[in-house]
Structure 1
Amino acid sequence: TLGTQTDYRDGEAQTDPYSPEYIVRTSSVPEILTLATLTWGRGLPAGQAEMEIIDRIREKRAWEAALPPMDSPSNVAKRLRMMEHMERKEWAYREEEIDKLQKVQLEVFKKLLQRREENQNEQDAMHLYKHWQNHLKAKEEKMKNIQRDCALMLRKLIAKRKNFMGKLERRDIIKEYNDFSSPVYAPLSRVGFFPDKNTGYYAVKNFYLNTFQGLCELEGSVQASVSQLKIKAPKPKFTTTGYIKRSGRVEAVLAQVHQ
């Protein structure tokens, strides 16, 4: 045989291990054939449970080999006793397996119940939190309504206290115009006046500013002296001989004093 080496693992090259074909002789029963029902992923590789099954199969084969032949009444009676004993042993083993399966199912059932209870508790907590938030919102709305009604009643009481005798007072126009917080300058919206309603009425609407034709006419009416600026260069502060004038000396002294 030739050995090969690759960069890939066996698990990447094939999914299940290779099982070669075999031929069984008529006079022999290999022990390995008792594991023919086990396949990769279903019993293989063998664990503790599979090893117990293999041991039981070996014990059963040894027991079958130890059975006496049925050639005499004593051997027949002994064979029956051995078979009854093996049957009781098999039933005890099956009951033990059933108990194990029931315990496993019970543990799984407990975990499912615990998970369902946790989910139910989370949902209940969420419902309670939403219910509490709704109550808080209703409480805040109620408090706002109470405060608004309280302010309204206070204004009414203040207005009644100003004229508690019920006398009719003539409007004092001078006093109203002298007080900048009076309704003349700041009318209240609750009496039907909305200052922001007619804001466009006070906007400046000019033909010369809002239209292109008006801008052209406005530009044509402007004198040329406005658009053409004339900047005069400052005169030198010293003469051709290098002598600084008196105004230049005064400005230099003032600059030093300022510094």
Structure 2
Amino acid sequence: MKKYTEQRFTGERALFQVSDLEIENCTFLDGESPLKESKNLDIRKSMFQWKYPLWYCKHVSVTDSTLFEMARAGIWYTDDLKMKNITYVAPKGIRRCHHVALENIVFTDATETLWNCDNVSIHGMSAKGDYFAMGSSNMEIEGLTLDGNYSFDGCKNVTIRNSHLLSKDAFWNCENITVYDSFVSGEYFGWNAKNVTLINCTIESEQGFCYMENLVMKDCKLLNTNLAFEYSTVDVEINSNIDSVKNPIHGRIIADHINEIIFDNDEMKPEDTTIIQRKQ
């Protein structure tokens, strides 16, 4: 395998269509698409400072490296991507990629990042930016700290564990989502989603959980949550009070106490939903 060490690359497509290459302590300066259409790359301790560094690539490992602000739209249409110990400053990173493994990643600008990817594993990530992971599928996530609204819009088959999400409008239009042992704060959680399960989670969500089909919650807490479950089918067990519940379609709601139960739509029948309050 050929190796480049301590080199600087400039100009468009500086290493176009290379294969079987080790890159260590190198810097990619101005010049678009330096590694476009390359395969079998082992990149270590390197810096990317310009746009589109890894497009249409296959079998790429990147460790202990940095993508700077101008490495915008950095990794698109790439398959079999492994990244570990990365500082990723540029927005719109990692789109339409397959078989992605990310470990110990810091995204300082995760705006429009991880869009339309498939088969993604995340272990340890801090990300700040709106529209994170839109349209992606088959994701396994452990230890994500996210500050960004509209996250996971349109995602399918996602499991999240031990994470902390500050995200208005999280999980809209989703299907088959399971979240364990996590905290989510943000308005309007999960609208128009299907088959969402939350286990041992704490959620703060003004007017959350509406227009949802098959919402399951077990051993969860709801903080500052009002007008919840409108037009949703539910099976929820809440270990806290709920500020208010409005117009659920049918199912079961168990909570310590519900301050207000609202049925103001004649199509929603109170008898179709079993509501149990542990503390009257």
Do these two structures clear the TM 0.5 threshold for a shared fold by scoring above it?
Answer: no
Which is richer in strand?
Answer: 2
Which is richer in helix?
Answer: 1
TM-score by length of structure 2 reads 0.16
